[in-house]
A and B are shown apart, each in its own frame.
Chain A
Amino acid sequence: MPRDYALQALDTALRPGVTYADVRVIESKDRSLSTKNGRAGTASSTEQLGLGIRVIADGCWGFAATDDLTKAGIDAAAHLAIGIARSGALAKKHDVELAGEDAHQAVWTSKCEIDPFAVPVEAQFAHLLDIDRELRRRKGITMAEGSMQFTRTRQIFASSIGSFIDQTRTVSGAGYSAYSFQNDEIQKRSYPTSFGGQYQQQGYEMVRELDMLLHAPRIAEETLALHAADQCPEGVFNLILESSQLGLQIHESIGHPIELDRVLGSEANYAGMSFLTLDQLNRLRYGSDIVNVVCDATESHGPGLGTFAFDDEGVPAQCVDIIRNGEFRGYMTSRETAAAVGATRSNGTMRAAGWDRLPLIRMTNVSLIPGKQKLAEVFDVDHGIYMETNKSWSIDDKRYNFQFGCEIAWEIKNGKRGRMLKNPTYSGISTEFWNSCDAIAGPEHWTLWGIPNCGKGQPEQVMGTGHGASPSRFRNVRVGGGYSE
């Protein structure tokens, strides 16, 4: 049983010279369904059970993971973790030290009103195929695809300081896209957002709330209309972003730069570092006065992909100020890194992608707090461009220069939506962009988006993160660089 596996691994790992150990036993199942052009695409289910053991021995970290859960398999993994840690002493500068943390015993389960695994596969496919039919009803739609993903993960965490934490999370994801090829051009529209749609820590109720079929005619019509739309102009414009695109903007230009392990160089060879060097804390004007950003893993923030009761080091979920009234106030930390910013305790952001991966600092729910403006006030510009739904994203390895592409845009004139524009892109420098923010819509327009595919670490870990945002306006942003002649 998972509890027994954890205790056995911990017992084996606690050998002389081992100053800390923790174990995560993870049992997971998922269901993955997709459709394309009237046919089922993916139809698969996966179950996994395995454990990862993390130790500090001779002042160095070691980690070993196995799915051989016999006594011999678990013992072998524990001994391997210790051996790996000791090998690290061949290239060590200092001993690892951890910020203090209390021992916790807890059981926590995320909210799930309708068990997605209890909903018949036939019904889920029927829903996707209804959407597929509706999208392809419009002549000119050359491809329609839709998908649903469901995951349930139970994790037992046990550590040598006496914590024993049992957490179960259910995640649902769903979305669809329509494509059209005409006149040497491919156009695409997606709902509720691109790259798999919306993901939240909810049950099947999330899929029902998306009301996906209702939006299919509009998505198909917009896909086709893009062919006849004008090319998005190149220049400097007032820019208004829809909330899912702004969620990704937060992810790339705030979420990653505030990872303290990245700031300290841990990711230098792969994901890169950060412009937020330690001297910037409490000094940098990150955004305009109305920009407030939190990193919030607590349930009160909503059912985000970064919501939990305890992180993967056994630290309780917290809400941390990242940007307050435009000023840079905090990083995401771990027990190992907290001391670098003078903290005596981690703010609880360590997460691993599975039993076979090491916990890293990961975004929980990094969200822009809603503003006070009504939507009409956000759009109240003489001339601007409004963009929706991400199509491409790229940012440099220190997170200064970014460029995003969106699926669709409209020109805004005197506060009103005008002509449709195709192939919109915008770019900028992170802090200049956030300092140009001069309108944020209120809480009634705020959505907690889920990004299921955030990559970090070596071996790479793909993790889900949450980002709340409402439509917002930015002044004097460079637009159109992606198609620059």
Chain B
Amino acid sequence: MTAQQIYEAVELCASRRHGVRDVEVHWRSGSESLTRFANNAIHQNVSETSHALSVRIVIGKRTARASTNRVDLAGIERCVEQAVALTKAMAIDEELLPLYEPVEAVYPAVDRFDEPTAECSPEARARAVAEAIRIVEEHGQTAAGIYSTEHLTETVCNSRGIRAMHRETMARFSITAMASDSSGWAKASAVRSADLDPAALARSAASKARASANPGEIDAAPYTVILEPSAVLDFVGQIMPDFSATSLADQRSFLTGRLGKPLFHPMIAIADDVTHPLQCGSPFDGEGVPRRIVPLVEAGVPKAVVYSRGAAAKASAAPTGHGLELPNDAGETPENIVIAGGTSSVEEMVASTERGVLVTRLWYIREVDPYDKIMTGMTRDGTFLVENGKVTCGLRNFRFNQSVLEALANVEMLGPAVRASGEETFDMVVPAMKIRGFGFTEVTRF
């Protein structure tokens, strides 16, 4: 069935069988294929095709949701029946808004579907992987990583006239090159698989592993750091969920009492911008509200948060199109982060540093303090000592305990903003950063 046919079946079932007029339907269908390699060979190789129908019912001031992947008529009817039953079991919620009506439902135009990526074959992925492995093997190293391609179609429809549809492809390549006592890593993602260069990523990972061989050890202490974009993404990305009106209202955001006050270095500007050419994702939120561009931080001053319809109504503000599927606890979240870049290259940052640490990526980052935004985590896969403007050797990895707020106040240089991929948060557009006084607190054994 098409998304429209599924919606019509849901609406018909809700009205005829249950006397319910207000329905919201989410429909997702897609496929993800992933070729995984380790020890210089493909070892896991998978593909998944899936569908998800999710029905939200509104009866007066009550709402609830039921979901299924059974999209024959019987499955749809059962899903509606469960959503209705769950909704009727809910207590009245005086703050619940009616379904969104398309007064201004004009969605930003984004082009994020690439047919060759959607149809990428296992053989094409395997050939790229084989070449990447060959490059790493040439360096006398061992390769591990993934090459994935996926396509997704999502729609939000409701009985008040919302009809929002988005389709997207995504390709990701990640590689770790391992030598006897060192490793290097590189990762990239793009809407078009043709925009990825697995061989170049393999060469980068291998050269990092070679350059960090025979790592030295220096005492854990605050150092000037040069964080490559993936490290910036995974570190700074930890604070982004706090730019939420609901989080602010709940007083669990670090922005409580800080909105409008200088907090970061004046170079820091952060926006949520679904239209950015390096971004991905749908141009509407969980209720079908169009996403707006929201300047979150300007000249180091946090200026705004994102709003769902519900949070906006309570705050007498306008919804920004960042609401999550209802019902939920969290309200909304920014999803298309763009941190403005500068003009300094990583090489220039290194050249300007008397003594510091160059960091490829950060790992296992967790929040130690929710208001000061102290994060702990590890460096990984390419950590280097910088002395007198040059990278002099690889280093054993550090544990850090560092406030993101303090780090963004201590920024000294910014690189150009690029699309970055990591493993600790979703992809964002961020620059490399040079930051003084970054708090390394322990050294591990490798």
Contacts and interface: CB of A to CB of B under 8 A. Distances in A.
Interface string A250-270: 000000000000001111111
A459 B146 CA distance: 9
Given A394-B377, A396-B380, A67 B49 contact: yes
Interface string A159-186: 0000000000000000000010100111
B251 to A, nearest CB: 4
Contacts of B35: 87-88
Interface string A372-398: 000000000000000000011111111
Contacts of B63: 43
Contacts of B69: 47-50, 67
21 contacts: A40-B90, A40-B327, A43-B90, A45-B65, A45-B66, A47-B66, A50-B50, A64-B48, A67-B69, A90-B129, A92-B42, A93-B41, A143-B252, A145-B329, A265-B144, A268-B178, A357-B48, A392-B366, A396-B399, A400-B446, A481-B399
A168 B86 CA distance: 24
- Size range of the chain B interface in the assembly: 35 or more
Nearest to B64: A43
Given A87-B125, A90-B126, A268-B176, A44 B65 contact: yes
Contacts of B14: none
Nearest to B399: A401
Q: Summarize A's interface: helix, strand, loop or mixed.
A: mixed
A142 B249 CA distance: 10
B328 A483 contact: no
Given A50-B50, A394-B366, A396-B364, A481 B444 contact: no
B48 A61 contact: no
B48 A356 contact: yes
B421 interface: no
A395 B364 contact: yes
B333 interface: no
Interface stretch (A78-86, A105-113, A362-370): A78-86
Given A269-B146, A458-B146, A84 B46 contact: yes
Interface stretch (A119-127, A285-293, A325-333): A119-127
Nearest to B37: A91
Of A64, A83, A125, A145, the most chain B CB neighbours within 10 A belong to A64
A66 interface: yes
B45 interface: yes
Contacts of B146: 269-270, 458
A166 B3 CA distance: 34
Interface in B401-446: 401, 423, 439, 441-446
Contact of B122 (A40, A87, A396, A427): A87
Contacts of A80: 47
Interface of B: 32-51, 63-70, 78-79, 82-83, 86-87, 89-91, 93, 95, 121-123, 125-127, 129-130, 133, 142, 144-146, 148, 174-176, 178, 185, 250-252, 256-257, 327-329, 363-371, 374, 376-378, 380, 397, 399, 401, 423, 439, 441-446
Nearest to A183: B371
B82 A45 contact: yes
- Size range of the chain A interface in the assembly: 35 or more
A431 B41 CA distance: 32
A68 B49 contact: yes
Contacts of B374: 482-483
Contacts of A41: 327-329
Nearest to B329: A41
Interface string A1-44: 00000000000000000000000000000000010110111111
Contacts of B377: 394
A66 B31 CA distance: 9
Contacts of B364: 394-397
B92 to A, nearest CB: 10
Contacts of B423: 270
Contacts of B126: 87-88, 90-91
A401 B369 contact: no
Contact of A482 (B67, B328, B376, B443): B376
